[in-house]
Every structure is written in C-alpha cells, then in structure tokens.
A = this chain, B = another copy of it.
C-alpha cells in the first residue's frame, strides 16, 4: 500500500492513463480529468449526443462506465500506476435523469487494503450540482 515515492501524480499523467489503459470505446466518451487529491479524482463528462438516449438524457450505461473509469484513476492517486488492479464488483443506483449539461464524476477510495480496494462514486450535474447516480465498487489489487 502507499504510492511509489518516485512517481509524481499530475493531471496530465491521469489524463494520459485514460488514453493508455482504456478501450477506444471508453476514450470516445471524452472524459477529462478535472482535479484530483490523495485517493480522489474528479472527471468531467461533456454533454454529447453520442451518449444521449431518446429524450436527450445521458444514458445510464455511460454513467456506469464513467464511474468505473474514475475509480481506477482515484486508486492510482493513492497507490501509483504500477499496481495492477481489476474491478471485482460495481453497484450503481440511478437517482434521477441528467440532461442539458455536463456530468461531474467524483470517485473516492474508501479503503485500500492489501488485496482489495473499496471506493464510492458520485455523479452530478456540472451545472446544478445535483447527484444523479451513486456507485460503490470493489477492486482486486493484484
């Protein structure tokens, strides 16, 4: 546990991981790293017709994908980039629809043990700040 002392986490590094570690289909979402702390990352998902279903609402599948992606980066801020990990479980609750604004995704590591990391994610409207999705997740640290 604990980050590698010789590795400096920056917004650019995290943004680069979005390109290097994730499938092209995930990259196509256009996620941007907005800010980060120790064990916490905030991403912005720009509003897009590509991610909207009938009625102009952000599809729930994109919310889940963004939640999972954000949590990987949140774990990196705490454990560094050299710790392989894999999602074990992700649970999402959809509170209300989101439309006509970007989404802000905040992922936070709740606990990182020897073999497992637990995290929670909030997705809210970037304009009105209202939560639309909450997720909790477990990762295996390999």
CB within 8 Å of B: which A37-82 residues: 48-54, 59-62, 64-65, 68-69
Q: Does A95 contact B (CB under 8 A)?
A: yes
In the complex, what distance in Å separates the CA atom of A111 from the CA atom of B132? 9
Whether B64 contacts A51 by the Cβ 8 Å rule is no
Chain B residues whose CB sits within 8 angstroms of the CB of A50 once the complex forms: 23-25
Q: Does A106 contact B (CB under 8 A)?
A: no
Residue of B21, B59, B93 touching A89 (CB-CB under 8 A): B93
Residue of B28, B65, B93, B111 touching A65 (CB-CB under 8 A): B65
Q: Does A113 contact B (CB under 8 A)?
A: yes
Chain B residues whose CB sits within 8 angstroms of the CB of A48 once the complex forms: 25
Considering the complex, give the chain B residue whose CB is closest to the CB of A24. Answer: B50
Additional A-B contact list (20), CB under 8 Å, known A61-B68, A93-B136:
A20-B54, A22-B53, A23-B50, A23-B53, A23-B62, A25-B29, A26-B61, A60-B90, A61-B61, A61-B64, A64-B64, A64-B90, A64-B92, A65-B65, A88-B88, A88-B94, A90-B94, A91-B91, A96-B111, A115-B140
Q: Does A87 contact B (CB under 8 A)?
A: yes
In the complex, what distance in Å separates the CA atom of A93 from the CA atom of B110? 11
